[in-house]
Amino acid sequence: MSSWLPSFLHKKETKFPLPKLPDRPMKNVLQLMEDMEIIKLSTLSKKMSKSVGKCDFKPLSYQVDVLDRDPDVFTFFNERWISNVGLESRQLAIPDSAHIIQLIQTAFPDSQFLITMVISKTDSLNFKIREILLTDEVKKYCTKIIVHGGALTVNELDLFINLRGLKRELVFDGTDFPLEYNHFNAFTGTNVIYEDARWIKISDLCGLESSTENLNLGRNLFYSKHYNELFKFHVNGNRDICTHIQIDCVESALNFEKMFEGIATLKVEKAGKTDVTMIHTNNITRKRPVMGISFKNTSKKTQICIQTYSINTESNELQTKCYNILQKLNKKTDLEVELKQIETIEYALRGQEEVLKPIQAKKTRITKELTNVREELWENAVYSVDGNARISPLD
């Protein structure tokens, strides 16, 4: 630049007095910065940390990756950090991973994060992983924990299960569980996935709270009789269970007659889609009285999918129709049982005309009711295949 220009146009190195700015200008400057710059800035001094805290930045969503074979290295990343700062899953060698989480929470209060952990099959849980699981930040702000691998002890598994909450997800992928494992909090939360479910009993599923939204089970020891127990609990129990359950299975090894033995069912045929078998409960206090059971086949596995539904004026038309049909099927079954009992009594009292008169009158009434119910089922396009009620889907 030419020397004859005014001195104020000469290029000079100047220092921006950021810490000396009043709150409003400070906030304006900070809002122009990248996330990681703000986080680093908050570590410079107590005053800067306080100033950053006053900006009320929106919470972040980020991920923490932990490798058991290198427990002193944690990877922190977020979409904005990758694209704007070029972090690209940069590995930060840190003595205390919880401190980094604290810094993020200071700059961006109430930020939520998920943790993924890769654990060796042969090693127990590293003390660094234990350390991070016990921090207040993880307990308060971690919304999802994914564990890959590992053959953990009961006490080690308890560290993860104890973190369960109504809004937290927990995924175990390829982690072997002791067959004797049990924990009262194992099924609490929005999404629960156990790839090794051999330790889970069908009574655990019957005991599921309705607040559990999704449960996905891999390897297990369930057979037809166990599913029958679960389905009967839905029909006869006094409370709802999990909204969605997916369980790995070998469809060819299941006996469908045993699965639904003693239960009124309605099979819904869906063109091009998996058929759904519907069952329901007559308990009027239940919020989700209908249960649908179907099979989902992929290239890797087959799953039995169980879903419970609520019924109200805004419900899906097909679900409402199925619920009404199932009520009629139950009534039909009850009337058929009652009619058979009367016919047995009628045969035993044959020849005693006076005694038979009230019994025959009851038989006539039940026969008429049964005819009406069968006509209503016919009007709803219900037909029977091998003794099982079916309907085609609505147009």
Cβ-contact 145, 163 below 8 angstroms: yes
Identify the residue with better confidence: 124 or 184: 184
- Residue 340 reports pLDDT greater than 80: yes
Burial of residue 325, with CB atoms counted within 10 A of its CB: 0-12 exposed, 13-18 middle, 19 or more buried: buried
Stretch 179-198: mean pLDDT: 88
Flag whether pLDDT at 84 surpasses 50.
Answer: no
Tokens of 14: 């100047």
Asked if the model's pLDDT at residue 33 lies above 50, the reply is: yes
3-state helix, strand, coil in the chain (%, to 5): 40, 20, 40
Chain segment 47-79, per-residue pLDDT in tens: 888 888 888 888 888 877 776 656 556 677 676
pLDDT attached to residue 125: 66
pLDDT value at residue 96: 60
Least confident of 86-100, 119-133, 271-285: 86-100
Q: Which of 23-27, 94-98, 263-267, 295-299 has the lowest mean pLDDT?
A: 94-98
Return the pLDDT at 131: 73
> What are residue 268's DSSP bridge partners?
276, 391
Strand partners, 174: none
Residue 125 CB partners (closer than 8 Å, separation 6+): 68, 119, 150, 152, 153, 156, 159
Q: What average pLDDT score do residues 192-211 get?
A: 87
Residues 302, 316: contact at Cβ < 8 Å? no
| In the predicted structure, residue 178 carries a pLDDT above the cut 50 | yes
Q: Which amino acid is at 227?
A: Y
Low-confidence winner among 35-44, 168-177, 226-235 (lowest mean pLDDT): 35-44
Closest C-alpha to 257, from 345, 388, 365: 388
- Which pLDDT score is estimated for 278? 82
Residue 226, pLDDT score: 94
What average pLDDT does the chain have?
Answer: 79
What span, in angstroms and rounded, lies between the C-alpha atoms of 240 and 187? Answer: 14
Residues of the chain above pLDDT 90, percent:
18
Task: For the full predicted model, state whether its pTM sits above 0.85.
Answer: no
Q: pLDDT band for position 274 (50/70/90)?
A: low
Q: Which residue has the tokens 């009434």?
A: 365
Return the domain boundaries, the chain.
36-262+277-306
Residue 88 — pLDDT band, cuts 50, 70, 90? very low
pLDDT of 2 over the 70 cut: no
Q: Give the confidence band of 5 by pLDDT, cuts at 50, 70, 90.
A: very low
For residue 126, name the pLDDT band (cuts at 50, 70, 90). Answer: low
157-185: average pLDDT? 84
Note the residue count of the chain. 395
Q: In this structure, how many other beta carbons lie within 10 angstroms of the beta carbon of residue 247?
A: 21
Mean pLDDT of 323-350: 89
Q: In 10 A of CB 58, how many CB atoms?
A: 8
The alpha helices in 114-163, defined as continuous H runs, are 127-133, 136-141, 154-161
Most confident of 166-170, 301-305, 316-320: 301-305
Give residue 246's pLDDT band: very low, low, confident or very high (50, 70, 90).
Answer: very high
Confidence category of residue 114, pLDDT binned at 50, 70, 90: confident
Contact between residue 33 and residue 41 where contact means Cβ atoms under 8 Å apart: yes
pLDDT at 70: 61
